[in-house]
Amino acid sequence: MSLLFILFFPLVIGAILLVAKPKQAFAISLIASIIELVATAFVLKDAAAAENGLVFTKPWIEEAGISFSLWVDGVNGILIGLCALMVPFIVATTANSDKANNAQYQGLMLAMQTALMGAFLAKDAFLFYFFFEASLLPIYFLAAIYGGENKNAITFKFFVYTLFGSLFLLIGLIYVYLVTPGSHSSDIETLYQTAIMLPERIQGNLFLAFFIAFAIKMPIFPFHTWQPDTYTVAPTQATMLLSGIMLKMGTYGLIRLVLPMFPLGMITWGNTAIILSVIGIIYGSIIAIQQKDAKRLLAYSSFAHVGLMSAGILSQSTEGIQGALYQMLSHGINIVGLFFIIEIIERRTKSREIAQLGGITQYSYVLTVAFVILSLGSVALPLTNGFIGEFLLLKSVFDHDMILGIVAGITIILGAVYTLRLIQKTMFGNFSRITKDFEDVSSAEKWVLIPLCVLVIVGGVYPTWILNFTEPGVQALVSLLK
Amino acid sequence: MSLLLLIPLLPLIGFAINGLAYPKLSKSIAGIVGTIPPLVAFVISLQLFLNFDGQTQIIQLADWIKVADLSIPFAFQIDALSIMMLLVITGVGTLIHLYSMGYMAHDAGFGKFFSFLNLFIFFMLILVLGANFTVLFIGWEGVGLCSYLLIGFWNQKNSYGDAARKAFIMNRIGDLGFLVGIFLLIQEFGTTDYQTIFSTIKDGTEVGNIGLIAFCLFIGAMGKSAQIPLFTWLPDAMAGPTPVSALIHAATMVTAGIYMVIRANALFELSPEVLHFVGWIGLATALLGAAIGLFQNDIKKVLAYSTVSQLGYMFMGLGASAYTASFFHVMTHAFFKALLFLGAGSVIHAMSDEQDIRKMGGLKSKMPITYITFLLGTIAISGIPPFAGFFSKDEILAALYHHDFAMWCLAILGSALTSFYMFRVFILTFWGDFRGTEKQAHHLHESPWSMTIPLIILAVFSVGGGFINLPHFAGGNEFLAHWLAPILPEPHTAGEVSLFSLEMGAPLLAAFLPAIFAIYYFGIQKAVPGNDESIQGIQKVIYRKFYIDELYDFVFVRPIQVLSTFFAQVIDFLVIDLIVEGVGKTVKTASDEIRKAQTGNVGYYIFMMVVSIALILVLTLRSRIL
Amino acid sequence: MQSIPEIIRTIPLTNYIMLSSALFCIGILGVLTRRNAIIVFMAIELMLNAVNLLLAAFSSYYSDPSGQIFVFFIMAVAAAEVAVGLAIIVMIYRNIQSIDIGVLNKLKN
Amino acid sequence: MTAIIALSLFGISNLFLGFWFPRKTIQMVTLLFLVVSMALTVSDWNHELLWFGNMFRTTNTSINFSLIIQLAAFFVVAFSKAFGQDDEHTHPAEYYAIMLFSVVGAILMVSFDHMIVLFVGLEILSVAMYVLTGSDKRNLRSNEAAIKYFLMGSFTTGILLFGITLVYGATHSFYISNIGTILTNTAPESMPSFLFIGVLLIIVGLLFKVSAAPFHFWTPDVYEGAPTIFTMFMSTIVKTASFAALFHLVSGIFGSLYTVWVLPVYFISMLTLVVGNISAVYQQSVKRMLAFSSISHAGYLLLTVSSKQISTTSSILYYSLSYTLATVVAFAVLILVSEYQSARVEKPENFSSFEGLAKNNPGLALCFTISMLSLAGIPLTAGFWGKFFIFSDTFSRNIIYPVILAILMSAVGIYYYFKGIIAVYLKAGEIEKIEVPVLFKMALWACTLGTIILGVYPSLVKSVF
Q: Which parts of chain A sit beneath pLDDT 70?
A: none
Nearest CA of chain C to the CA of B592: how many Å?
9
User: Is the backbone of residue D377 left (phi > 0), alpha (psi -120 to 50) or beta?
Assistant: left
C-beta atoms of A159 and D388 within 8 A = no
The pLDDT value recorded for residue D153 is: 93
In one letter, which amino acid is B417?
L
- Cβ contacts of D396 on chain A, cutoff 8 Å: 178
- Residues paired with residue B75 on neighbouring β-strands, in sequence order: B60
Asked whether residue B495 carries a pLDDT value surpassing 70, the answer given is no
The pLDDT value recorded for residue A239 is: 93
Q: Report the distance separating Cα B449 and Cα B536, nearest Å.
A: 43
Phi and psi angles of residue B387, each rounded to the nearest 5 degrees, phi first: -75, 165
- Cβ contacts of D198 on chain B, cutoff 8 Å: none
C-beta atoms of C32 and B610 within 8 A = yes
Chains C and B touch (3+ CB pairs under 8 A): yes
Q: Report the distance separating Cα D241 and Cα D228, nearest Å.
A: 19
Asked whether residue B537 carries a pLDDT value surpassing 80, the answer given is no
Phi and psi angles of residue A124, each rounded to the nearest 5 degrees, phi first: -105, 135
User: How many CB pairs (< 8 A) connect B and C?
Assistant: 27
Angle formed at CA B496 by CA B494 and CA B501, multiple of 5 degrees: 105
Nearest-CB residue to A178 (from D396, D408, D411) = D396
CA distances from B75 to A135, B43, B57, B361, D94 (A): 45, 22, 10, 51, 92
**Burial degree of D151 (CB within 10 A; 0-12, 13-18, 19+):** buried
DSSP code of residue A441: P
B596 touches chain D (CB under 8 A): no
Question: What are the residue boundaries of the structural domains of chain B, listed by start?
Answer: 551-625
Angle formed at CA B259 by CA B255 and CA B264, multiple of 5 degrees: 150
Q: What is the mean pLDDT of residues D192-205?
A: 90
> How many CB atoms neighbour CB D363 within 10 A?
15
pLDDT tens across B134-190, in order?
Answer: 999 999 999 999 999 999 888 888 888 888 998 999 999 999 999 999 999 998 888
C-beta atoms of A382 and B142 within 8 A = yes
Question: What are the residue boundaries of the structural domains of chain D, listed by start?
Answer: 2-462
Q: What is the mean pLDDT of residues B73-79?
A: 89
- Cβ contacts of C67 on chain D, cutoff 8 Å: 165, 168, 174
C-beta atoms of B612 and D214 within 8 A = yes
Q: Report the distance separating Cα D389 and Cα D294, nearest Å.
A: 18
CB-based contacts of A207, cutoff 8 Å, min separation 6: A258, A262, A265, A266, A268, A269, A270
Averaging pLDDT over each range in A123-132, B67-76, B427-436, which range is the top one? A123-132
Q: What is the mean pLDDT of residues B415-427?
A: 88
Q: pLDDT grade, residue D310 (50/70/90)?
A: confident
- The torsion angle over the Cα atoms of residues B206, B277, B148 and B449, rounded to 10 degrees, is 110
- Among chain C, residues having any CB pair with chain B shorter than 8 Å are 28, 31-32, 35, 101-102, 104-109
Q: According to the CATH classification, is domain C4-96 in 3.20.20.70?
A: no
The pLDDT value recorded for residue D147 is: 92
Q: What is the mean pLDDT of residues B508-533?
A: 80
Q: What is the mean pLDDT of residues B401-422?
A: 87
Q: Report the distance separating Cα B94 and Cα B35, nearest Å.
A: 6
DSSP codes, D324-374: HHHHHHHHHHHHHHHHHHHTTSS-TTBGGGGTTHHHH-HHHHHHHHHHHHH
Q: pLDDT grade, residue B197 (50/70/90)?
A: confident
Angle formed at CA A250 by CA A269 and CA A67, multiple of 5 degrees: 105
Nearest-CB residue to A412 (from B152, B176, B564) = B176
C-beta atoms of D137 and C96 within 8 A = no
Q: Report the distance separating Cα B605 and Cα D218, nearest Å.
A: 7
Q: What is the mean pLDDT of residues D297-321?
A: 86
Q: pLDDT grade, residue D86 (50/70/90)?
A: low
Question: What are the residue boundaries of the structural domains of chain A, listed by start?
Answer: 2-481
Asked whether residue D188 carries a pLDDT value surpassing 80, the answer given is no
ipTM (interface predicted TM): 0.88
- Cβ contacts of C28 on chain B, cutoff 8 Å: 610
> How many CB atoms neighbour CB B519 within 10 A?
16
Residues C57-95: b if buried by 16+ CB within 10 A, e if exposed: bbbbbbebebbeebbebbeebbebbeebbebbbebbeee
**Number of residues that this document lists for chain B:** 626
Q: What is the mean pLDDT of residues B299-312?
A: 89
Residue of B nearest to C107 (CA): B600
DSSP codes, B583-598: HHHHHHHHHHHHGGG-
CA distances from A295 to A239, A291, A341, A344, B560 (A): 9, 9, 10, 12, 21
Query: Do C85 and C101 touch, CB atoms closer than 8 A?
Result: no
> How many CB atoms neighbour CB B312 within 10 A?
28
C74 touches chain D (CB under 8 A): yes
Asked whether residue D336 carries a pLDDT value surpassing 70, the answer given is yes
Angle formed at CA A385 by CA A382 and CA A389, multiple of 5 degrees: 90
The pLDDT value recorded for residue D85 is: 46
Chains D and A touch (3+ CB pairs under 8 A): yes
Asked whether residue D309 carries a pLDDT value surpassing 80, the answer given is no
Asked whether residue D319 carries a pLDDT value surpassing 80, the answer given is yes
C-beta atoms of C102 and B603 within 8 A = yes
The pLDDT value recorded for residue D83 is: 61
Q: What percent of chain D has pLDDT over 70?
A: 98
C-beta atoms of D414 and A133 within 8 A = no
C-beta atoms of B172 and A413 within 8 A = yes
Phi and psi angles of residue D461, each rounded to the nearest 5 degrees, phi first: -105, -25
Please, which chains are in contact with B (at least 3 CB pairs closer than 8 A)?
A, C, D
Q: Report the distance separating Cα B189 and Cα B191, nearest Å.
A: 5
Residues A357-394: b if buried by 16+ CB within 10 A, e if exposed: bbbbbbbbbbbbbbbbbbbbbbbbbbbbbbbbbbbbbb
Q: Which parts of chain C sit beneath pLDDT 70?
A: 1-2
